[in-house]
Amino acid sequence: MAIITSLPSRFFFISICLAVAFLVGCSNASINDNPPDFSSKEKLQIVCTTGMIGDAIQRIAGDRAQVTTLMGPGVDPHLYKATQGDLRKLSEADLVFFNGLHLEGKMIEILDKLGRLKPVVAFADSLPESRLINSTNYANAFDPHIWFDVALWSEAITNVVNTMARLDSGYSDHYKKNGTAFNILLKTLDQEVRQRILDIPESQRILITAHDAFAYFSNAYGIEVRGLQGISTVSEYGLRDISDLVKLITERKIKAIFVESSVPEKSLEAVVEGCAKRGFETRIGGTLFSDAMGAAGTPEGTYPGMVRANLNTIVSALK
């Protein structure tokens, strides 16, 4: 027992030394209430969470900024785990952009805290609540997948352009010019989606996927959406979910259902088999990009390319 009785003082002494060292070491950063001055910087360092946001910011900033995207192709933003390198990028960034509405899960808390040290902007925060979808009875449980409504995404981009023009006022014309050009492109894209959806016979205008990511797409373009699972990917689909879907597909003779890039295919195969047993042939119509874009360098690695790829998959399978 001799060792133990002498332990407390020794341990507490060490702990206090550590705490002091820590206070001295970790508290040398300072908080800045004034907006940062970017005019002296040759190039801004901007960090974005998802590919869709990175694509938008790259177009708006052009060569004024070095844009880094944290979440690569095929990554589920809800479950993303940061690496040591990501942390460095976040702490070195001049500006940070993220989606918000809980898309980035627990990471959003950290981004909010980082917002006290540097400008951190959520795309979704600039949108009025009336434009957001909440398919639950709970307050603040908005659907985060806003980029599937091209017009809504374009609205968010207008707001982000204004924010950037205000923060980096020396380049405000540059941002506004790029922003306008991108918004014109998005307007064409929005009309293209609207037009092409009309090619699908009205009775076939229903999008069946594994998890509910397409509510905004549904609202904007008049195509019904049914998911096997809710938004949360931890809840398993029930047997009745499958049989309900099978019934719906056979009754309405839906030609195809769709897999998403970030959710396993198995559950939907069960639905296809179920339909076959009831004598109706449906098929997996292809893979849709939901929470992440395609690989960089491919057409699907850009926002318009991703939207078109989804559109082509849906239209050609249901037409």
Selected from 34, 39, 40, 84, the binder of another protein by CB under 8 A is 84
Instruction: Pick the closest to residue 209 from 162, 169, 265 (CA basis).
Output: 265
Q: Considering only residues 205 through 264, tell me which ones interact with another protein, judged by CB under 8 A.
A: 212, 229-236, 238
Q: Least distance (Å) from another protein to the CB of residue 178?
A: 29
Q: Are strands 224-229 and 206-211 parallel, antiparallel or unpaired?
A: parallel
Selected from 86, 126, 248, 284, the binder of another protein by CB under 8 A is 86
Residues β-bridged to residue 260: 288
Segment interacting with another protein, rule: CB under 8 A, options 77-85, 170-178, 259-267, 311-319? 77-85
Segment interacting with another protein, rule: CB under 8 A, options 44-52, 74-82, 174-182, 275-283? 74-82
Report the C-alpha gap between 203 and 201 in whole angstroms.
Answer: 6
HSE-up (13 A, CA, CB side) for residue 311: 23
Residue 119 is encoded by which pair of tokens? Answer: 């400008």
Q: Least distance (Å) from another protein to the CB of residue 43?
A: 23
Told to check if 29 binds another protein by CB under 8 A, we report yes
Report the C-alpha gap between 215 and 141 in whole angstroms.
Answer: 14
Residues β-bridged to residue 256: 283
Distance in Å from the first CA to the final CA of the chain: 82
Report the C-alpha gap between 247 and 228 in whole angstroms.
Answer: 13
> In the complex, which residues of this chain contact another protein (CB under 8 A)?
3-4, 7-8, 11-12, 15, 18-19, 21-23, 25-31, 33, 78-79, 81-87, 90-91, 102, 105-107, 109-110, 113-114, 116-117, 135-136, 138-141, 143-144, 212, 229-236, 238
